[in-house]
Amino acid sequence: MAEGKKDGVEKAAMLLLSMGEDLASDVMKYLSPTEVQRIGSQMTKIEGLSHEALNQVVKDFEGEMQSTISSGGSEYVKKVLTKALGSDKAATIIDRIIEGGEGGGLETLRWMEPKVVADLIRNEHPQTIAVIVSYLEPEHAARVIAHFQPRTRANVVMRVATMESISPGALKELEEAVKQRIAGSVSAHTRFVGGIKMAAEILNQMDTSSETAIISEIEKNNAEVSTKIQEQMFVFADIIGIDDRGMQTILKEISNDILVLALKVASDELKEKFFKNMSERASEMLKEDMETKGPVKLSEVEKAQQEIVKTVKRLEQEGKIVTGGKGGEEQLV
């Protein structure tokens, strides 16, 4: 590995290589498919790891680590991925990042870059695209859909929202269409996919302008579906419904710079919700930073708010907080 400043992926790869197979596999269970692919690929490129390099990484994380350092390589990564993901998923990702295979099938799409997935399916019927994105993680699905034309985005999300199941025969045909290559392939049972919740989760991962445009387009075609989707969505303004203990947990995860941007156009009530759950000193510092912050682009504010929303959803999934009521009535613009 080249010396010099290392990015987050390189640092994560180095730390995982230093942990040993068991601990590394436990850590990787909490990573998304995209993260596993990026970090796993980087791990295979590390043929040796010096103590000096590791110590620098550990110092960056403000911790101390003492363990046997692995030399990395394909065999190590295969073992870690298999323990972390199970043999079926690991076989797919190993084929892509180690063996150089192209892969195929719905499961493999989870591990591919959003633009690549979009290019593969953009000429399919919107209903087919809807089924495919329903198999992806919401964040991944959102990034795939972002590569489509606005009308197609809305069409696909609406179909995701109104979808309930797919028959074994149709699923098999779809698997074959994307060149399914994974052992075990098709389930003999009807598979429930899509639905209002899935559509809402996909939109939650998009930037505000795209989200608003899609909701508006869906409303033109089916107002009832649009309303149901918005009822399931969690937007920045909904943070007002989180209790104080939850707010304090959230604040531990968010940097001051992000807060300064996110609260720039927030209501006084929402700002106060954040202020009262911070120490007096931290609250005063945040207020001063907000007052001295010059004009910023609305897109930057929306991006900061979206980052906080993602943090809230992650903490909720981890069982660390409970969100309040949902709905888009108070969505900021």
Say yes or no to pLDDT of 104 above 60: no
In this prediction, residue 82 carries a pLDDT of: 66
Task: Tell me which of 124 and 248 has the higher pLDDT.
Answer: 248
Band the pLDDT of 323: cuts 50, 70, 90.
confident
In this prediction, residue 215 carries a pLDDT of: 87
Give the whole-angstrom CA distance, residue 326 versus residue 188: 36
Band the pLDDT of 57: cuts 50, 70, 90.
low
Give the whole-angstrom CA distance, residue 77 versus residue 41: 9
In this prediction, residue 93 carries a pLDDT of: 59
* 3-state SS class at 147: coil
Q: 104 near 139, Cβ under 8 Å?
A: no
Say yes or no to pLDDT of 147 above 70: yes
pTM value is: 0.43
Give the whole-angstrom CA distance, residue 196 versus residue 132: 16
Helical (H) or strand (E) element with 191: strand 191-192
Residue ranges of the chain that CATH labels 1.10.220.30? 109-231, 236-317
* Of the candidates 215, 211, 212, the residue with the CA atom closest to the CA atom of residue 227: 215
What is the chain's mean pLDDT, rounded? 75
CATH of domain 109-231: 1.10.220.30
In this prediction, residue 63 carries a pLDDT of: 47
Task: Tell me which of 48 and 269 has the higher pLDDT.
Answer: 269
Rounded average pLDDT over 271-278: 93
Q: How many CA atoms lie within 13 A of 252 on its CB side?
A: 8
Q: In this prediction, what percent of the chain has a pLDDT beyond 90? A: 17
Give the whole-angstrom CA distance, residue 95 versus residue 117: 17
Instruction: Look at phi and psi of residue 254 and say left if phi exceeds 0, alpha if psi is from -120 to 50, else beta.
Output: beta
Say yes or no to pLDDT of 31 above 70: yes
In this prediction, residue 86 carries a pLDDT of: 61
Sign for the CA dihedral angle at 240, 246, 247, 251 comes to negative
236-317 is a CATH 3.40.50.10470 domain: no
* Of the candidates 103, 106, 244, 254, the residue with the CA atom closest to the CA atom of residue 174: 106
Band the pLDDT of 248: cuts 50, 70, 90.
very high
Alpha helices in the chain (DSSP H): 8-19, 21-28, 33-44, 51-60, 74-85, 87-97, 106-109, 114-121, 126-134, 138-145, 150-162, 168-177, 196-204, 208-221, 223-232, 244-251, 256-262, 268-275, 280-292, 298-317
Task: Tell me which of 263 and 34 has the higher pLDDT.
Answer: 263
In this prediction, residue 72 carries a pLDDT of: 55
